[in-house]
Amino acid sequence: MSLLRTRRRSLPLLAAAVVGTTAVLLPLAAGHADPTSTANPGDAGRLMLVLDSSGSMSDPASGGTTKIEAAKSALHEVVDGLPADAEVGMRVYGAKVFSRSDAGACTDSQRVVDLGSDNRADLDSAIDAYTPYGETPIGYALQQADADLGGEGPRSIVLVSDGEPTCPPDPCQVARQINKDGGNVRIDVVGLDVDGKAEAALRCIADKGNGTYYDADSADDLSAALETLATRAVRPYQPSGEPVTGSADPTSAPTLAPGSYVDQIGGIETTTGTLHYKVERSIPGSSITVAATILTPYYVGRKHRQDEWDRIDLALSTTDGEACDTADPADVRSMDATALTVTVDAGDCPDADELVARVTRTGGADFTTPLELVVAEEPPVLDATTLPEGVSGAVAWKAPPKGPDAGSVTGGSSFAESTPISPGTYRGTIVPGEVQSFDVEVGWGQQLAATMTIPDPSGPLAAELSQQGSPFGLAVYSPYRADAVAVSDGAPPHSSTIYPTGGGQVGAVTAPVTYRNREVVGDPLRAAATAGGYTIVLSLADSRARTSYEVPFVLRVGVTGDVVAAPEYDLAAAEPSESPSSESASSSPTEEPATDGPAATAESDAEDSDVPVGLLVIGGALLVVVGVGGWLVNRRIRGS
């Protein structure tokens, strides 16, 4: 475990295990957000289903059924698979007034089920009562659905329609208006057996509503699309951390102690494209790391163009302008990466008491997106020369052993909700636009390797992959939220790879974890400089998908190498002015030391190493929650 000093509320759940007279704070489990955090990534999103009840829904659909029958069957499946805590409501339009010439035809929309989490029976009853009848006032229905959802938190509308709007207002302009001020409402659209003008109108709604458009030509297509969109809507990514507002002027920048923070950053055409923050050093000679992350435009939900680019730069300096470190990666396309993450440290400014972090978003369009920051501080070690030397050059590829077959698994919807796993073989499925994250403990002296294998597809799936070209990605991030995928000899490609005609494999390996990796050249090698929770992220970014499809995968994870003693830290330098152990002990006065799991393992490792038991051990498994409201799970929750 690395010794990190950070604010308790910004870390994963912690246990206060009393050792001697000192409380030792240890992570209970990687991937679980601190419930005291200002933004709770575990909160379910709110979803309004908006359903077309116009007369044309009685027309035949492909597959030998009517459109309304296909919609009812699909909607019942969706309701059955919703998480218990998901807030969902239902609104219909065109259900009461028969003709446009009749009064009230263009305001014919009713909320048939109020937004709530204990209303599944009501939803099923409303679906059974759902019948074709009148006109198509889509714009008015969207306005009312937006009002139904309220004005706070992540909110989604899933619109199902089989035709073009027949009433004002223009629904495309309504979607634009709902989100014109950066509103957090996503409008996804399923077009049921439509083409021509109707399809163009529905696609415009999804585009202006920062959502996805799916074609559905049959009951099966509709079921797959609704499953994807509804599940993503009720399990959204929420940025996690203490709210902070960066400044355009470094002299007025807010001061950040170690912890996790969330802000908003603009694009190249905005006035908020560069933000400044001050970072305090509280331990003489400590190592300070700052990470900043946004998602690529595809995962933000903007435009879904496969060639859209974005970029974020990060610089750390002293208050008088002396450069400490910079990170300026190349521009990244949406199809090539899930997240844009940069990490810097203050290694070249070891004596500065206060530093300035400058974050610049130099890509993207004129829209803002949440920015997540993490600040970590680690005390100096007593004698770094006694520790193993850092790695240099390419890392030898060590394919993860097949290991035990752990069965099916579903990754978390964000870094804060990552699924903890052990080395082994796992099976799951992934759909377009989905990100799944997993946490794996890696000790000092160990290294992590992982592969994601997509089997050769057949049937309809083969046609989807052949037509679309599907970039599957596998990434690995360190406890400091740095890209930890090392250049390796003989490994599968470690970046996103396009499979235009069949299956394949992506893989990644880290360098062996050693403290002195921070001294070497190469960011991925330097990333493997602390033990703790490493996060594996799987993604499927298919911006051209017209339908939803599900791809099976096999995730193989290996952690190799013997665990070695942790570095011995300079406790005198790390002695705080106020004892954090007192606060921790008083907050959990009766809690017993853990007897198993990551906390117990970490405590055992500390006892077997040269680290005194009086250390305040915080956050070897420090998780940095990354990205923006757009990391949304696109699938029904499956048991692991």
Q: What is the per-residue DSSP string for 233-275?
A: HHS-----SEE---BSSGGGPPEE-SEEEEEEE--TTSS-SEE
> Distance (Å, rounded) from C-alpha 246 to C-alpha 548?
39
Q: Parallel, antiparallel, or unpaired: how do β-strands 259-265 and 242-243 relate?
A: parallel
pLDDT score at 142: 96
Boundary of a domain, candidates 344, 359, 386: 386
Asked if residue 595 is part of any domain, the answer here is no
Tally: H helices and E strands in the chain: 12, 34
How many whole angstroms separate alpha carbon 606 and alpha carbon 633?
37
Indicate whether 538 and 511 sit together in one domain.
yes
Please give the average pLDDT of every successive group of 10 residues along the chain, which has 640 residues: 31 25 24 33 72 91 82 87 84 89 91 93 93 92 94 84 91 88 76 89 88 80 78 65 92 94 78 89 91 71 54 90 82 56 85 94 70 91 92 87 80 79 90 83 96 80 63 86 84 60 80 93 89 91 63 92 92 61 36 36 39 30 28 28
Contact 372, 240 (CB under 8 A): yes
Same domain, 463 and 508: yes
- Judged on CB neighbours under 10 Å (0-12, 13-18, 19+), 216 is buried
User: Distance between the two ends of the chain, CA-based, in angstroms?
Assistant: 28
Question: What is residue 574's three-state secondary structure?
Answer: helix
> Can you give the pTM of this predicted structure?
0.67
Domain presence at residue 142: yes
Helix, strand, coil fractions of the chain, as percent rounded to 5: 20, 30, 45
Let me know whether 361 and 431 are in one domain.
Answer: no
Domain assignment present for 585: no
Q: Which pLDDT score is estimated for 546?
A: 58
Collapsed DSSP state (helix, strand, coil) of residue 374: strand
Note whether 403 and 532 are same-domain residues: yes
Q: Is 106 part of any domain?
A: yes
Residues 78 and 212 in one domain: yes
Q: Domain of 262: which CATH number?
A: 2.60.120.380
Q: Is residue 37 part of a domain?
A: no
Domain end call among 528, 560, 592: 560
**Same-domain pairing of 279 and 402:** no
| Number of domains, the chain | 3
Q: Which domain holds residue 51?
A: 46-234
Do both 246 and 221 map to the same domain? no
Domain-terminating residue out of 176, 210, 234 = 234
In-domain check, residue 19: no
468 and 353: one domain?
no
Q: Considering only CA atoms, which of 508, 519, 505, 514 is closest in space to residue 486? A: 508
Q: What is the pLDDT of residue 448?
A: 96
Q: Kindly report whether the peptide bond that precedes residue 404 is cis, defined as omega within 30 degrees of 0.
A: no
Residue 61 covered by a domain: yes
220 domain-assigned: yes
Amino acid symbol at 58: S
Query: What does the pLDDT read at residue 495?
Result: 56
pLDDT at 241: 82
Assess whether 134 and 218 both reside in one domain.
yes
Closest CA to 454 of 545, 540, 337: 540
377 and 465 housed in the same domain: no
CA distance linking residue 535 with residue 321, whole number of Å: 34
165 lies in the same domain as 262: no
The pLDDT value recorded for residue 610 is 39
> How remote is the C-alpha of 603 from its chain's centroid?
30
Q: Which residue from 233, 57, 141, 319 is spatially nearest to 633, judged by alpha carbons? A: 233
Residues 192, 245, single domain; the answer is: no
